Structure 1
Amino acid sequence: MTRDLFARRFTARLPADIPRDWLPSSPAIAALLNTYTVLVPANEAFYMRTINACLPRIADPALRATAIAFIHQEAEHGVAHKRYWRNLDRQGYRFRTFERWVDKLTFRAIERIAPLSLRVSMVSCVEHVNAYFAHEFLSQRILEGAHPEVRALVEWHFAEEIEHKRVSFDVMQAVTPSYAVRFAGLAMTLPLFYGLMTFGMMRFLLQDKRLFRWSIWRQFLDHLGPRNHMLLRTLKHMIAYARPSFHPSQLDDAALAEAVIDRYSSRAQNWLEPANRGRAAAKQPLAA
Protein backbone atom coordinates (compact mmCIF):
# COMPACT_ATOMS: atom_id res chain seq x y z
CA MET A 1 0.00 0.00 0.00
CA THR A 2 1.37 3.39 -0.97
CA ARG A 3 1.29 6.21 1.53
CA ASP A 4 -0.77 9.37 1.16
CA LEU A 5 0.64 12.10 -1.03
CA PHE A 6 1.73 15.26 0.77
CA ALA A 7 4.40 17.91 0.51
CA ARG A 8 7.71 17.71 2.34
CA ARG A 9 10.25 20.46 2.83
CA PHE A 10 13.93 19.73 2.15
CA THR A 11 15.72 21.15 5.19
CA ALA A 12 19.29 19.94 4.68
CA ARG A 13 21.88 22.69 4.81
CA LEU A 14 23.65 23.22 1.49
CA PRO A 15 27.14 24.27 2.64
CA ALA A 16 28.98 26.99 0.77
CA ASP A 17 31.98 24.75 0.08
CA ILE A 18 30.26 22.16 -2.11
CA PRO A 19 32.84 21.56 -4.87
CA ARG A 20 32.24 21.57 -8.60
CA ASP A 21 33.23 17.89 -8.63
CA TRP A 22 30.41 16.86 -6.30
CA LEU A 23 30.15 13.54 -8.18
CA PRO A 24 33.80 12.54 -8.75
CA SER A 25 32.91 9.27 -10.48
CA SER A 26 31.19 11.05 -13.38
CA PRO A 27 31.56 14.77 -14.13
CA ALA A 28 29.21 14.39 -17.10
CA ILE A 29 26.40 13.06 -14.90
CA ALA A 30 27.06 15.92 -12.46
CA ALA A 31 26.75 18.39 -15.36
CA LEU A 32 23.53 16.69 -16.45
CA LEU A 33 22.06 16.99 -12.96
CA ASN A 34 23.25 20.59 -12.62
CA THR A 35 21.21 21.26 -15.76
CA TYR A 36 18.27 19.45 -14.20
CA THR A 37 18.56 21.67 -11.13
CA VAL A 38 18.61 24.81 -13.28
CA LEU A 39 15.51 23.73 -15.22
CA VAL A 40 13.47 22.45 -12.27
CA PRO A 41 11.95 25.72 -10.95
CA ALA A 42 10.53 26.82 -14.32
CA ASN A 43 9.56 23.23 -15.15
CA GLU A 44 7.70 22.76 -11.89
CA ALA A 45 6.00 26.15 -12.17
CA PHE A 46 4.68 25.12 -15.60
CA TYR A 47 3.39 21.82 -14.17
CA MET A 48 1.72 23.63 -11.28
CA ARG A 49 -0.02 26.18 -13.47
CA THR A 50 -1.18 23.47 -15.86
CA ILE A 51 -2.56 21.10 -13.23
CA ASN A 52 -4.13 24.00 -11.36
CA ALA A 53 -5.97 25.01 -14.56
CA CYS A 54 -7.25 21.43 -14.82
CA LEU A 55 -8.76 21.32 -11.33
CA PRO A 56 -12.22 22.68 -12.28
CA ARG A 57 -12.50 19.90 -14.89
CA ILE A 58 -11.77 17.05 -12.45
CA ALA A 59 -15.01 15.48 -11.23
CA ASP A 60 -13.46 12.88 -8.90
CA PRO A 61 -12.87 14.48 -5.46
CA ALA A 62 -10.10 12.01 -4.60
CA LEU A 63 -8.17 12.76 -7.80
CA ARG A 64 -8.71 16.47 -7.28
CA ALA A 65 -7.25 16.29 -3.76
CA THR A 66 -4.30 14.25 -4.99
CA ALA A 67 -3.69 16.74 -7.81
CA ILE A 68 -3.57 19.57 -5.28
CA ALA A 69 -1.07 17.62 -3.16
CA PHE A 70 0.97 17.09 -6.34
CA ILE A 71 1.02 20.86 -6.90
CA HIS A 72 2.38 21.45 -3.41
CA GLN A 73 5.07 18.78 -3.78
CA GLU A 74 6.21 20.40 -7.01
CA ALA A 75 6.32 23.79 -5.30
CA GLU A 76 8.73 22.42 -2.68
CA HIS A 77 10.93 20.95 -5.42
CA GLY A 78 11.25 24.34 -7.08
CA VAL A 79 12.13 26.04 -3.80
CA ALA A 80 14.78 23.47 -2.86
CA HIS A 81 16.52 23.45 -6.24
CA LYS A 82 16.56 27.22 -6.37
CA ARG A 83 18.41 27.17 -3.04
CA TYR A 84 21.12 25.16 -4.77
CA TRP A 85 21.48 27.86 -7.42
CA ARG A 86 23.45 29.85 -4.81
CA ASN A 87 25.97 27.02 -4.74
CA LEU A 88 26.22 27.03 -8.53
CA ASP A 89 26.88 30.79 -8.33
CA ARG A 90 29.64 30.24 -5.75
CA GLN A 91 31.17 27.56 -7.96
CA GLY A 92 31.47 30.16 -10.70
CA TYR A 93 28.94 28.78 -13.16
CA ARG A 94 26.96 31.00 -15.54
CA PHE A 95 23.46 29.66 -16.05
CA ARG A 96 20.85 32.29 -15.20
CA THR A 97 20.54 33.73 -18.71
CA PHE A 98 20.10 30.21 -20.06
CA GLU A 99 17.37 29.54 -17.48
CA ARG A 100 15.50 32.77 -18.24
CA TRP A 101 15.50 32.13 -21.97
CA VAL A 102 14.33 28.54 -21.54
CA ASP A 103 11.45 29.72 -19.37
CA LYS A 104 10.51 32.48 -21.81
CA LEU A 105 10.90 30.58 -25.08
CA THR A 106 9.53 27.21 -23.98
CA PHE A 107 7.19 27.16 -20.98
CA ARG A 108 5.75 30.67 -21.34
CA ALA A 109 5.48 30.34 -25.12
CA ILE A 110 3.76 26.95 -24.84
CA GLU A 111 1.23 28.40 -22.41
CA ARG A 112 0.37 31.18 -24.83
CA ILE A 113 -0.18 29.01 -27.90
CA ALA A 114 -1.09 25.49 -26.74
CA PRO A 115 -4.54 24.46 -25.51
CA LEU A 116 -4.85 23.06 -22.00
CA SER A 117 -5.37 19.54 -23.33
CA LEU A 118 -1.97 19.57 -25.03
CA ARG A 119 -0.25 21.24 -22.07
CA VAL A 120 -1.48 18.61 -19.63
CA SER A 121 -0.41 15.91 -22.10
CA MET A 122 3.09 17.39 -22.15
CA VAL A 123 3.15 17.52 -18.34
CA SER A 124 2.09 13.87 -18.18
CA CYS A 125 4.86 12.87 -20.58
CA VAL A 126 7.63 14.83 -18.87
CA GLU A 127 6.52 13.46 -15.51
CA HIS A 128 6.88 9.99 -17.03
CA VAL A 129 10.43 10.93 -18.02
CA ASN A 130 11.10 12.32 -14.53
CA ALA A 131 9.83 9.11 -12.95
CA TYR A 132 12.05 7.10 -15.29
CA PHE A 133 15.08 9.23 -14.35
CA ALA A 134 14.20 8.68 -10.72
CA HIS A 135 13.89 4.92 -11.08
CA GLU A 136 17.21 4.69 -12.90
CA PHE A 137 19.21 6.86 -10.54
CA LEU A 138 17.80 5.24 -7.40
CA SER A 139 17.78 1.62 -8.53
CA GLN A 140 21.26 1.84 -10.12
CA ARG A 141 22.64 3.81 -7.12
CA ILE A 142 24.31 6.20 -9.53
CA LEU A 143 24.76 8.87 -6.85
CA GLU A 144 26.80 6.75 -4.45
CA GLY A 145 29.95 8.71 -3.69
CA ALA A 146 28.29 12.06 -4.41
CA HIS A 147 28.47 15.01 -2.00
CA PRO A 148 25.92 14.01 0.71
CA GLU A 149 23.75 17.13 0.65
CA VAL A 150 23.55 17.26 -3.15
CA ARG A 151 22.81 13.55 -3.25
CA ALA A 152 20.04 14.05 -0.69
CA LEU A 153 18.50 16.90 -2.69
CA VAL A 154 18.40 14.90 -5.91
CA GLU A 155 17.33 11.59 -4.35
CA TRP A 156 14.52 13.20 -2.34
CA HIS A 157 13.24 14.86 -5.50
CA PHE A 158 13.50 11.62 -7.45
CA ALA A 159 11.70 9.67 -4.72
CA GLU A 160 8.78 12.08 -4.84
CA GLU A 161 8.72 11.87 -8.65
CA ILE A 162 8.11 8.14 -8.25
CA GLU A 163 5.62 8.77 -5.47
CA HIS A 164 3.42 11.06 -7.58
CA LYS A 165 4.16 9.64 -11.04
CA ARG A 166 0.58 8.62 -11.81
CA VAL A 167 -1.06 11.93 -10.85
CA SER A 168 -0.53 14.00 -13.99
CA PHE A 169 -1.38 10.99 -16.18
CA ASP A 170 -4.65 10.47 -14.31
CA VAL A 171 -5.43 14.19 -14.57
CA MET A 172 -4.77 14.04 -18.32
CA GLN A 173 -7.09 11.06 -18.65
CA ALA A 174 -9.79 12.91 -16.72
CA VAL A 175 -9.42 16.12 -18.74
CA THR A 176 -8.60 14.77 -22.21
CA PRO A 177 -8.64 10.97 -22.58
CA SER A 178 -7.75 11.20 -26.29
CA TYR A 179 -4.86 8.92 -27.28
CA ALA A 180 -4.01 11.29 -30.14
CA VAL A 181 -3.48 14.13 -27.65
CA ARG A 182 -1.34 11.88 -25.46
CA PHE A 183 0.83 10.93 -28.43
CA ALA A 184 1.13 14.56 -29.53
CA GLY A 185 2.38 15.45 -26.05
CA LEU A 186 4.92 12.63 -26.27
CA ALA A 187 6.15 13.76 -29.70
CA MET A 188 6.61 17.35 -28.53
CA THR A 189 8.05 16.65 -25.08
CA LEU A 190 10.80 14.12 -25.73
CA PRO A 191 12.95 16.17 -28.14
CA LEU A 192 12.41 19.30 -26.06
CA PHE A 193 13.36 17.65 -22.76
CA TYR A 194 16.39 15.73 -23.98
CA GLY A 195 17.51 18.61 -26.20
CA LEU A 196 17.52 21.07 -23.29
CA MET A 197 19.21 18.58 -20.96
CA THR A 198 21.95 17.80 -23.50
CA PHE A 199 22.56 21.46 -24.33
CA GLY A 200 22.70 22.40 -20.65
CA MET A 201 25.06 19.54 -19.83
CA MET A 202 27.40 20.64 -22.61
CA ARG A 203 27.34 24.23 -21.32
CA PHE A 204 28.39 23.09 -17.84
CA LEU A 205 31.14 20.86 -19.25
CA LEU A 206 32.37 23.73 -21.41
CA GLN A 207 32.63 25.96 -18.35
CA ASP A 208 34.59 23.18 -16.62
CA LYS A 209 36.90 23.00 -19.68
CA ARG A 210 35.94 19.34 -20.04
CA LEU A 211 33.66 19.40 -23.06
CA PHE A 212 36.30 18.05 -25.44
CA ARG A 213 37.87 15.48 -23.10
CA TRP A 214 37.32 11.96 -24.40
CA SER A 215 37.64 10.48 -20.88
CA ILE A 216 34.58 12.46 -19.73
CA TRP A 217 32.47 11.30 -22.65
CA ARG A 218 33.68 7.72 -22.23
CA GLN A 219 32.35 7.74 -18.66
CA PHE A 220 29.03 9.12 -19.85
CA LEU A 221 28.76 6.63 -22.71
CA ASP A 222 29.44 3.84 -20.23
CA HIS A 223 26.29 4.88 -18.39
CA LEU A 224 24.32 4.80 -21.62
CA GLY A 225 25.83 1.58 -22.92
CA PRO A 226 28.20 -1.10 -21.65
CA ARG A 227 28.05 -0.42 -17.92
CA ASN A 228 24.46 0.59 -17.14
CA HIS A 229 22.65 0.05 -20.49
CA MET A 230 20.65 3.17 -19.74
CA LEU A 231 19.97 4.06 -23.39
CA LEU A 232 18.22 0.76 -24.13
CA ARG A 233 16.07 1.02 -21.01
CA THR A 234 15.25 4.64 -21.88
CA LEU A 235 13.98 3.61 -25.30
CA LYS A 236 11.89 0.81 -23.80
CA HIS A 237 10.44 3.19 -21.23
CA MET A 238 9.43 5.75 -23.86
CA ILE A 239 7.92 3.07 -26.09
CA ALA A 240 5.91 1.82 -23.11
CA TYR A 241 4.35 5.28 -22.69
CA ALA A 242 3.16 5.13 -26.31
CA ARG A 243 1.15 1.96 -25.75
CA PRO A 244 -2.62 2.67 -25.64
CA SER A 245 -2.90 0.46 -22.54
CA PHE A 246 -0.09 2.20 -20.63
CA HIS A 247 -0.47 3.41 -17.05
CA PRO A 248 2.37 4.60 -14.74
CA SER A 249 1.35 2.09 -12.05
CA GLN A 250 2.51 -0.76 -14.31
CA LEU A 251 6.04 -0.24 -12.95
CA ASP A 252 5.70 -0.83 -9.22
CA ASP A 253 8.69 0.93 -7.67
CA ALA A 254 6.91 2.57 -4.72
CA ALA A 255 9.13 0.70 -2.25
CA LEU A 256 12.21 2.23 -3.87
CA ALA A 257 10.86 5.73 -3.26
CA GLU A 258 9.65 4.95 0.25
CA ALA A 259 13.08 3.69 1.28
CA VAL A 260 14.66 7.00 0.21
CA ILE A 261 11.99 9.10 1.95
CA ASP A 262 12.38 7.05 5.13
CA ARG A 263 16.16 7.39 5.06
CA TYR A 264 16.16 11.16 4.76
CA SER A 265 13.29 11.51 7.24
CA SER A 266 15.01 9.41 9.89
CA ARG A 267 16.44 10.85 13.09
CA ALA A 268 19.93 10.15 11.82
CA GLN A 269 19.41 12.42 8.78
CA ASN A 270 16.34 14.53 9.62
CA TRP A 271 16.54 16.37 6.30
CA LEU A 272 12.84 16.21 5.43
CA GLU A 273 9.84 17.56 7.27
CA PRO A 274 6.16 18.00 6.36
CA ALA A 275 5.62 21.33 4.62
CA ASN A 276 3.14 23.78 6.10
CA ARG A 277 1.10 23.54 2.95
CA GLY A 278 1.06 19.73 3.04
CA ARG A 279 -1.96 17.71 4.16
CA ALA A 280 -4.04 20.56 5.50
CA ALA A 281 -3.36 23.05 2.73
CA ALA A 282 -3.87 20.41 0.08
CA LYS A 283 -7.60 20.71 0.65
CA GLN A 284 -7.62 23.99 -1.31
CA PRO A 285 -6.44 24.71 -4.87
CA LEU A 286 -3.99 27.42 -5.75
CA ALA A 287 -5.37 30.70 -6.98
CA ALA A 288 -5.88 30.71 -10.71
Structure 2
Amino acid sequence: MSATAGAESSTKRPIPVRAMGFAFREAAVPRWWFFENPIPTHVSNALNLLFPDGERFFIRSVKHYMHVIEDDPELLARVRGFFGQEGRHGHEHERYNKLLQEQGYDLEPFLALYRRLAFDVLEKHVPPVLRLSATAALEHYTATMAENALKSDMLEHAHPLMRDLLRWHAAEEIEHKSVAYDVLQRVDPRWSVRAAGLAIGTASILAFWILGARELLRQEAAMGTELDVHRRAAAADPVLERERRHRAVMFRAAIADYLRADFHPDQKNDYELARAYLDGIGRLAG
Protein backbone atom coordinates (compact mmCIF):
# COMPACT_ATOMS: atom_id res chain seq x y z
CA MET A 1 0.00 0.00 0.00
CA SER A 2 1.37 3.40 -0.93
CA ALA A 3 1.42 6.30 1.49
CA THR A 4 -1.30 8.02 -0.53
CA ALA A 5 -3.50 4.96 -0.57
CA GLY A 6 -3.04 4.53 3.16
CA ALA A 7 -4.04 8.11 3.85
CA GLU A 8 -7.10 7.80 1.64
CA SER A 9 -8.28 4.58 3.26
CA SER A 10 -7.84 5.95 6.77
CA THR A 11 -10.28 8.81 6.13
CA LYS A 12 -13.11 6.26 5.86
CA ARG A 13 -12.82 5.24 9.50
CA PRO A 14 -14.64 7.36 12.09
CA ILE A 15 -12.80 8.04 15.35
CA PRO A 16 -15.39 7.94 18.16
CA VAL A 17 -14.65 9.50 21.54
CA ARG A 18 -15.58 7.17 24.39
CA ALA A 19 -16.01 8.27 28.00
CA MET A 20 -15.18 5.12 29.98
CA GLY A 21 -15.07 6.09 33.67
CA PHE A 22 -13.02 3.18 35.03
CA ALA A 23 -13.82 2.43 38.69
CA PHE A 24 -10.28 2.24 40.04
CA ARG A 25 -11.16 2.60 43.73
CA GLU A 26 -14.27 0.44 43.60
CA ALA A 27 -12.35 -2.39 41.93
CA ALA A 28 -9.68 -2.28 44.66
CA VAL A 29 -6.77 -2.33 42.23
CA PRO A 30 -3.81 -3.71 44.25
CA ARG A 31 -0.40 -2.03 44.43
CA TRP A 32 1.16 -4.89 42.45
CA TRP A 33 -1.46 -5.32 39.77
CA PHE A 34 0.75 -6.91 37.07
CA PHE A 35 1.98 -10.48 37.66
CA GLU A 36 1.47 -9.68 41.38
CA ASN A 37 5.03 -8.36 41.22
CA PRO A 38 6.31 -4.80 41.77
CA ILE A 39 8.89 -4.99 38.96
CA PRO A 40 6.60 -5.38 35.93
CA THR A 41 3.95 -3.34 37.73
CA HIS A 42 6.18 -0.28 38.12
CA VAL A 43 7.65 -0.59 34.64
CA SER A 44 4.05 -0.30 33.43
CA ASN A 45 3.17 2.39 35.98
CA ALA A 46 6.09 4.51 34.80
CA LEU A 47 4.63 4.63 31.31
CA ASN A 48 1.22 5.44 32.78
CA LEU A 49 2.80 8.44 34.53
CA LEU A 50 3.86 9.86 31.17
CA PHE A 51 0.48 9.55 29.48
CA PRO A 52 -1.59 12.51 30.76
CA ASP A 53 0.94 15.25 29.96
CA GLY A 54 2.23 13.34 26.96
CA GLU A 55 -1.25 13.11 25.42
CA ARG A 56 -1.70 16.86 25.90
CA PHE A 57 1.63 17.44 24.16
CA PHE A 58 0.41 15.35 21.20
CA ILE A 59 -2.75 17.46 21.00
CA ARG A 60 -0.79 20.72 21.11
CA SER A 61 1.65 19.53 18.46
CA VAL A 62 -1.11 18.67 15.99
CA LYS A 63 -3.32 21.65 16.90
CA HIS A 64 -0.49 24.02 15.95
CA TYR A 65 -1.06 23.05 12.31
CA MET A 66 -4.84 23.12 12.12
CA HIS A 67 -4.62 25.96 9.61
CA VAL A 68 -2.68 23.73 7.20
CA ILE A 69 -5.48 21.15 6.98
CA GLU A 70 -8.50 23.47 7.05
CA ASP A 71 -9.21 22.62 3.39
CA ASP A 72 -9.52 18.88 4.17
CA PRO A 73 -12.77 18.20 6.06
CA GLU A 74 -12.12 14.46 6.41
CA LEU A 75 -8.71 14.96 7.96
CA LEU A 76 -10.10 17.71 10.17
CA ALA A 77 -12.78 15.32 11.44
CA ARG A 78 -10.16 12.67 12.18
CA VAL A 79 -7.98 15.22 13.98
CA ARG A 80 -10.91 16.21 16.20
CA GLY A 81 -11.52 12.55 17.00
CA PHE A 82 -7.82 12.20 17.80
CA PHE A 83 -8.01 15.17 20.16
CA GLY A 84 -11.04 13.68 21.90
CA GLN A 85 -9.55 10.23 22.31
CA GLU A 86 -6.19 11.51 23.55
CA GLY A 87 -7.96 13.78 26.00
CA ARG A 88 -9.95 10.84 27.39
CA HIS A 89 -6.79 8.71 27.66
CA GLY A 90 -5.05 11.42 29.63
CA HIS A 91 -8.08 11.79 31.90
CA GLU A 92 -8.33 8.08 32.73
CA HIS A 93 -4.60 7.64 33.33
CA GLU A 94 -4.58 10.73 35.52
CA ARG A 95 -7.36 9.15 37.60
CA TYR A 96 -5.29 5.99 37.95
CA ASN A 97 -2.22 8.02 38.92
CA LYS A 98 -4.25 9.56 41.74
CA LEU A 99 -4.91 6.05 42.99
CA LEU A 100 -1.15 5.44 43.01
CA GLN A 101 -0.76 8.49 45.22
CA GLU A 102 -3.44 7.17 47.57
CA GLN A 103 -1.50 3.89 47.77
CA GLY A 104 1.48 5.81 49.15
CA TYR A 105 3.60 6.72 46.12
CA ASP A 106 4.76 10.34 45.89
CA LEU A 107 4.47 11.15 42.18
CA GLU A 108 4.89 14.90 42.28
CA PRO A 109 8.72 15.17 42.34
CA PHE A 110 9.04 12.97 39.26
CA LEU A 111 6.09 14.60 37.46
CA ALA A 112 7.50 18.06 38.19
CA LEU A 113 10.87 17.04 36.71
CA TYR A 114 9.18 15.44 33.70
CA ARG A 115 7.07 18.52 33.01
CA ARG A 116 9.99 20.90 33.46
CA LEU A 117 12.40 19.03 31.18
CA ALA A 118 9.93 17.77 28.56
CA PHE A 119 7.64 20.75 28.23
CA ASP A 120 9.23 23.83 29.81
CA VAL A 121 12.61 23.11 28.19
CA LEU A 122 12.41 20.67 25.26
CA GLU A 123 9.03 21.67 23.89
CA LYS A 124 9.88 25.36 23.97
CA HIS A 125 13.17 24.89 22.12
CA VAL A 126 12.17 22.27 19.54
CA PRO A 127 10.65 23.72 16.35
CA PRO A 128 6.92 23.00 15.83
CA VAL A 129 7.52 20.72 12.86
CA LEU A 130 9.83 18.50 14.92
CA ARG A 131 7.30 18.42 17.76
CA LEU A 132 4.74 17.21 15.24
CA SER A 133 7.23 14.71 13.82
CA ALA A 134 8.05 13.38 17.30
CA THR A 135 4.31 13.02 17.93
CA ALA A 136 3.86 11.01 14.72
CA ALA A 137 6.78 8.75 15.69
CA LEU A 138 5.49 8.21 19.23
CA GLU A 139 2.06 7.40 17.83
CA HIS A 140 3.77 4.71 15.76
CA TYR A 141 5.30 3.28 18.94
CA THR A 142 2.00 3.38 20.81
CA ALA A 143 0.25 1.65 17.90
CA THR A 144 2.98 -1.01 17.93
CA MET A 145 2.50 -1.58 21.66
CA ALA A 146 -1.27 -1.49 21.17
CA GLU A 147 -1.22 -4.30 18.63
CA ASN A 148 0.88 -6.36 21.03
CA ALA A 149 -1.50 -5.61 23.92
CA LEU A 150 -4.48 -6.89 21.93
CA LYS A 151 -2.71 -9.95 20.48
CA SER A 152 -0.52 -11.08 23.38
CA ASP A 153 -1.68 -12.94 26.49
CA MET A 154 0.47 -10.66 28.68
CA LEU A 155 -2.47 -8.67 30.02
CA GLU A 156 -4.12 -11.85 31.22
CA HIS A 157 -1.64 -11.46 34.10
CA ALA A 158 -2.96 -7.99 34.97
CA HIS A 159 -5.73 -7.01 37.36
CA PRO A 160 -8.99 -7.12 35.34
CA LEU A 161 -9.65 -3.38 35.53
CA MET A 162 -6.11 -2.48 34.48
CA ARG A 163 -6.42 -4.99 31.65
CA ASP A 164 -9.61 -3.24 30.53
CA LEU A 165 -7.96 0.20 30.77
CA LEU A 166 -4.94 -0.83 28.71
CA ARG A 167 -6.87 -2.73 26.06
CA TRP A 168 -9.33 0.14 25.57
CA HIS A 169 -6.41 2.55 25.27
CA ALA A 170 -4.69 0.17 22.86
CA ALA A 171 -7.74 -0.17 20.61
CA GLU A 172 -8.13 3.60 20.35
CA GLU A 173 -4.42 4.10 19.65
CA ILE A 174 -4.89 1.87 16.62
CA GLU A 175 -8.03 3.76 15.56
CA HIS A 176 -6.17 7.08 15.37
CA LYS A 177 -2.64 5.84 14.63
CA SER A 178 -2.32 7.59 11.25
CA VAL A 179 -3.73 11.01 12.19
CA ALA A 180 -0.55 12.80 13.33
CA TYR A 181 1.41 11.17 10.51
CA ASP A 182 -1.07 12.39 7.89
CA VAL A 183 -0.87 15.92 9.29
CA LEU A 184 2.93 15.71 9.16
CA GLN A 185 2.74 14.65 5.52
CA ARG A 186 0.76 17.81 4.78
CA VAL A 187 3.14 20.01 6.76
CA ASP A 188 6.53 18.58 5.77
CA PRO A 189 6.82 15.13 4.13
CA ARG A 190 10.63 15.02 4.04
CA TRP A 191 12.19 11.77 5.27
CA SER A 192 14.81 13.75 7.22
CA VAL A 193 12.10 15.46 9.26
CA ARG A 194 10.42 12.14 9.96
CA ALA A 195 13.72 10.56 11.04
CA ALA A 196 14.59 13.50 13.29
CA GLY A 197 11.23 13.22 15.01
CA LEU A 198 11.79 9.52 15.56
CA ALA A 199 15.17 10.23 17.18
CA ILE A 200 13.73 12.92 19.46
CA GLY A 201 10.69 10.86 20.39
CA THR A 202 12.68 7.68 21.06
CA ALA A 203 15.28 9.38 23.25
CA SER A 204 12.64 11.28 25.21
CA ILE A 205 10.29 8.41 25.97
CA LEU A 206 13.08 6.03 26.92
CA ALA A 207 14.72 8.55 29.26
CA PHE A 208 11.53 9.49 31.09
CA TRP A 209 10.20 5.92 31.18
CA ILE A 210 13.43 4.67 32.80
CA LEU A 211 13.53 7.58 35.25
CA GLY A 212 9.91 7.00 36.24
CA ALA A 213 10.40 3.28 36.79
CA ARG A 214 13.52 3.86 38.88
CA GLU A 215 11.73 6.40 41.06
CA LEU A 216 8.73 4.13 41.68
CA LEU A 217 10.99 1.20 42.51
CA ARG A 218 13.07 3.40 44.82
CA GLN A 219 9.89 4.28 46.70
CA GLU A 220 8.81 0.63 46.71
CA ALA A 221 12.10 -0.33 48.37
CA ALA A 222 11.63 2.47 50.90
CA MET A 223 8.29 0.86 51.85
CA GLY A 224 10.22 -2.24 52.89
CA THR A 225 9.74 -4.37 49.78
CA GLU A 226 12.65 -6.73 49.07
CA LEU A 227 13.02 -5.94 45.38
CA ASP A 228 15.78 -8.48 44.71
CA VAL A 229 13.37 -11.31 45.50
CA HIS A 230 10.84 -9.94 43.01
CA ARG A 231 13.52 -9.25 40.40
CA ARG A 232 14.57 -12.89 40.53
CA ALA A 233 10.96 -14.01 40.26
CA ALA A 234 10.38 -11.74 37.27
CA ALA A 235 13.59 -12.91 35.58
CA ALA A 236 12.54 -16.54 36.04
CA ASP A 237 8.99 -16.06 34.76
CA PRO A 238 8.78 -17.66 31.29
CA VAL A 239 5.95 -15.36 30.15
CA LEU A 240 7.90 -12.22 31.09
CA GLU A 241 11.07 -13.59 29.50
CA ARG A 242 9.24 -14.41 26.28
CA GLU A 243 7.73 -10.91 26.26
CA ARG A 244 11.09 -9.22 26.86
CA ARG A 245 12.55 -10.98 23.84
CA HIS A 246 9.50 -10.30 21.72
CA ARG A 247 9.48 -6.59 22.55
CA ALA A 248 13.13 -6.20 21.59
CA VAL A 249 12.38 -7.70 18.17
CA MET A 250 9.11 -5.77 17.90
CA PHE A 251 10.65 -2.35 18.51
CA ARG A 252 13.60 -2.96 16.19
CA ALA A 253 11.11 -3.90 13.47
CA ALA A 254 8.97 -0.85 14.25
CA ILE A 255 11.95 1.48 13.85
CA ALA A 256 13.06 -0.14 10.59
CA ASP A 257 9.49 0.02 9.27
CA TYR A 258 9.08 3.69 10.19
CA LEU A 259 12.31 4.63 8.41
CA ARG A 260 11.28 3.11 5.08
CA ALA A 261 10.91 5.82 2.45
CA ASP A 262 7.38 4.70 1.51
CA PHE A 263 6.13 4.10 5.07
CA HIS A 264 2.54 4.83 6.08
CA PRO A 265 0.85 3.63 9.31
CA ASP A 266 -2.02 2.10 7.36
CA GLN A 267 0.27 -0.34 5.61
CA LYS A 268 -0.26 -2.49 8.71
CA ASN A 269 -3.99 -3.11 8.75
CA ASP A 270 -4.69 -3.86 12.40
CA TYR A 271 -7.91 -1.86 12.47
CA GLU A 272 -10.03 -5.01 12.55
CA LEU A 273 -8.13 -6.12 15.65
CA ALA A 274 -9.17 -2.90 17.41
CA ARG A 275 -12.73 -3.08 16.07
CA ALA A 276 -13.13 -6.66 17.28
CA TYR A 277 -12.09 -5.70 20.81
CA LEU A 278 -14.30 -2.60 20.94
CA ASP A 279 -17.23 -4.53 19.51
CA GLY A 280 -16.68 -7.22 22.13
CA ILE A 281 -17.06 -4.69 24.97
CA GLY A 282 -20.03 -3.02 23.27
CA ARG A 283 -18.22 0.25 22.56
CA LEU A 284 -17.49 0.10 18.84
CA ALA A 285 -19.72 3.05 17.97
CA GLY A 286 -18.72 5.17 20.94
TM-score range with shorter-chain normalisation? 0.7 to 0.9
The residue that corresponds to 1:89 in the other structure is 101
SS at match of 1:10: coil
Q: Which amino acid aligns with 1:239?
A: A
Unaligned runs of 5+ in 2: 1-8
Contact 2:133 2:194 in 1 (8 A): yes
2:269 corresponds to which of 252, 256, 267: 252
For residues 1-288 of structure 1, the aligned pairs below 5 Å read 3-15=13-25, 17-24=28-35, 27-58=38-69, 59-209=71-221, 211-213=227-229, 214-216=231-233, 218=235, 223=240, 229-265=246-282, 274=286
Structure 1 CA distance, aligned partners of 2:239 and 2:25? 31
Structure 2 CA distance, aligned partners of 1:244 and 1:64? 25
- Map Cα deviations across residues 58-96 of structure 1 (whole Å, 9 max, x no partner): 132211221111011111111111111221012211222
Structure 2 CA distance, aligned partners of 1:187 and 1:3? 29
Unaligned runs of 5+ in 1: 267-271, 275-288
* Larger helix proportion of the pair: 2
**TM-score w.r.t. structure 2 length?**
0.86
The residue that corresponds to 1:282 in the other structure is none
The residue that corresponds to 1:284 in the other structure is none
Offset of 1:29 from its aligned partner? 2.7
Alpha carbons of 1:226 and 1:15: their partners in 2 closer, same or farther (altered >3 Å)?
Answer: closer
Offset of 1:188 from its aligned partner? 1.3
Contact 2:140 2:177 in 1 (8 A): yes
The residue that corresponds to 2:4 in the other structure is none
- Map Cα deviations across residues 16-56 of structure 1 (whole Å, 9 max, x no partner): 53211112255433212211221111001101111111110
Contact 2:55 2:89 in 1 (8 A): yes
**TM-score w.r.t. structure 1 length?**
0.85
Alpha carbons of 1:124 and 1:224: their partners in 2 closer, same or farther (altered >3 Å)?
Answer: farther
Q: Which moved more, 1:56-65 or 1:12-21?
A: 12-21
Q: Which amino acid aligns with 2:49?
A: V
Offset of 1:219 from its aligned partner? 5.2
Offset of 1:110 from its aligned partner? 2.7
Contact 1:23 1:146 in 2 (8 A): yes
Paired residues, what number?
A: 269
Offset of 1:221 from its aligned partner? 9.1
Alpha carbons of 1:227 and 1:102: their partners in 2 closer, same or farther (altered >3 Å)?
Answer: closer
Contact 2:149 2:166 in 1 (8 A): no
Offset of 1:265 from its aligned partner? 2.9
Q: Which amino acid aligns with 2:113?
A: W
Contact 1:121 1:181 in 2 (8 A): yes
Structure 2 CA distance, aligned partners of 1:256 and 1:112? 37
Alpha carbons of 1:25 and 1:73: their partners in 2 closer, same or farther (altered >3 Å)?
Answer: same
Q: Which amino acid aligns with 1:120?
A: L
- Map Cα deviations across residues 157-216 of structure 1 (whole Å, 9 max, x no partner): 111111110111111111111111111111111121122112222222232235544415
Q: Which amino acid aligns with 1:11?
A: G
Contact 1:10 1:273 in 2 (8 A): no
The residue that corresponds to 1:285 in the other structure is none
Structure 1 CA distance, aligned partners of 2:236 and 2:17? 35
